[in-house]
């Protein structure tokens, strides 16, 4: 009996070691897949520290995920995500559409860089749109590729660091309200990774924009811009009035009749328009 127990114990140890190797390989494979697919979607560098797959409950814990800023912006990353929990409906892994029950992102760091013409969020969305398969030659590929449904997406405890031209070099650190999205890809029986990423980033963009718009410093900057615009319009009107007065004086000095003066004024106004 004891030799049999030893054999069974040895087999159990081998099974546990085998499971450990399989889990380790799965973690490594998923990490490598994320590092390969991520940049293809965002058009920017993607970094990832660790992936911990929990096969029995269909979840994965991801740490140290960062998404690089689009080209032309100062800061290295647009998103830094220390903690991401993903819960998957396991049977769907064998189907054409993978159902992700929940994505929970805790305390992300978000960098916003903007100017009068664009910002890094719009640039990232443009990258994603450019990388989405839209041509006829890519249609078959996108149809055969795995699609996903995200039933519940939660981003909480986020902080936004904002830099914008109107802030005159000042940097804003603002808390981002909790963001919840439901049923991504449900209505279309699945979405591609690019489509799902685009939906999520568009919602984050709107939340960041609303947060910035509500901040006191941005309100002050808008008031300053409005005051500058009004000042410029007033100066333009003053200059126009001074020019018209000077023209009237010169015409009177020439001793012209009223009809001739009106004709010349009409001609000058024509040039001004």
- H/E/C letters for each residue in the chain? CHHHHHHHHHHHHHHHHHHHHHHHHHHHHHHHHHHHHHHHHHCCCEECCEEEEEHHHCEEEEECEEEECCCCCCCCEEEEECEEEEEECHHHHHCCEEEEEEEEEECCEEEEEECCCCEHHHHHHHHHHHHCCCCHHHHHHHHHCCEEEEEEEEEECCEEEEEEHHHCCCEEEEECCCEEEEEECCCCCCECHHHHHHHHHHHHHHHHHHHHHHCHHHHHHHHHHHHHHHHHHHHHHHHHHHHHHHHHHHHHHCCCCHHHHHHHHHHHHHHHC
Same domain, 143 and 247: no
User: Does a structural domain hold residue 149?
Assistant: yes
User: Does a structural domain hold residue 182?
Assistant: yes
Point out the domain boundary residue: 168, 196, 214. 214
Domain that residue 249 falls in: 224-272
Question: Tokens standing for 196?
Answer: 């799902």
* Per-residue b or e along 31-44, where b marks 16 or more CB atoms closer than 10 Å to that residue's CB: beebeeebbebbbb
Same domain, 156 and 105: yes
User: Does a structural domain hold residue 245?
Assistant: yes
User: Does a structural domain hold residue 219?
Assistant: no
Same domain, 66 and 193: yes
Say what the pLDDT of residue 7 is: 45
User: Does a structural domain hold residue 158?
Assistant: yes
Point out the domain boundary residue: 194, 214, 234. 214
The count of other CB atoms within 10 Å of the CB of residue 50 is 11
Closest alpha carbon to 81 in 150, 176, 196, 159: 159
Same domain, 50 and 97: yes
Same domain, 209 and 229: no
Same domain, 60 and 162: yes
User: Does a structural domain hold residue 118?
Assistant: yes
Same domain, 82 and 133: yes
Residues of the chain falling short of pLDDT 50:
1, 3-24, 136, 267, 271-272
Say what the pLDDT of residue 193 is: 83
Point out the domain boundary residue: 214, 238, 255. 214
Same domain, 111 and 8: yes
Q: How many domains does the chain have?
A: 2
Same domain, 131 and 243: no
Say what the pLDDT of residue 231 is: 76
User: Does a structural domain hold residue 57?
Assistant: yes
Same domain, 193 and 149: yes
Same domain, 180 and 264: no
Same domain, 229 and 163: no
Say what the pLDDT of residue 1 is: 46
User: Does a structural domain hold residue 246?
Assistant: yes
């Amino acid at each position: 009996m004891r030799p049999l127990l030893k054999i069974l114990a040895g087999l159990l140890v081998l099974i546990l070691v085998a499971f450990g190797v399989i889990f380790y390989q799965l973690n490594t494979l998923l990490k490598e897949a994320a590092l390969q697919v991520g940049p293809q979607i965002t058009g920017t560098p993607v970094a990832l520290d660790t992936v911990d797959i929990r096969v029995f409950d269909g979840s994965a814990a991801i740490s140290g995920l960062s998404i690089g800023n689009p080209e032309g912006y100062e800061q290295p990353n647009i998103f830094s995500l220390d903690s991401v929990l993903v819960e998957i409906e396991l049977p769907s892994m064998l189907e054409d559409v993978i159902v992700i029950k929940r994505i929970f992102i805790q305390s992300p760091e978000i960098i916003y860089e903007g100017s009068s013409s664009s910002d890094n969020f719009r640039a990232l969305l443009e990258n994603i749109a450019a990388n989405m398969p839209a041509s006829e030659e890519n249609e078959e590929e996108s149809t055969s590729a795995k699609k996903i449904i995200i039933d519940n997406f939660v981003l909480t405890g986020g902080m936004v660091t904002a830099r914008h031209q109107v802030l005159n070099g000042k940097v804003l650190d603002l808390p981002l309200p909790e963001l919840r999205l439901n049923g991504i890809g449900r209505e279309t029986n699945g979405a591609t990774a690019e489509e799902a990423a685009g939906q999520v980033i568009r919602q984050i963009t709107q939340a960041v924009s609303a947060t910035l718009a509500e901040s006191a410093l941005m309100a002050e900057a808008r008031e300053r811009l409005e005051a500058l615009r009004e000042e410029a319009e007033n100066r333009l009107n003053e200059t126009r009035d001074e020019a018209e007065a000077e023209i009237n004086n010169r015409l009177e000095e020439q001793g012209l009749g009223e009809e001739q003066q009106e004709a010349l004024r009409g001609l000058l106004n024509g040039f001004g328009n």
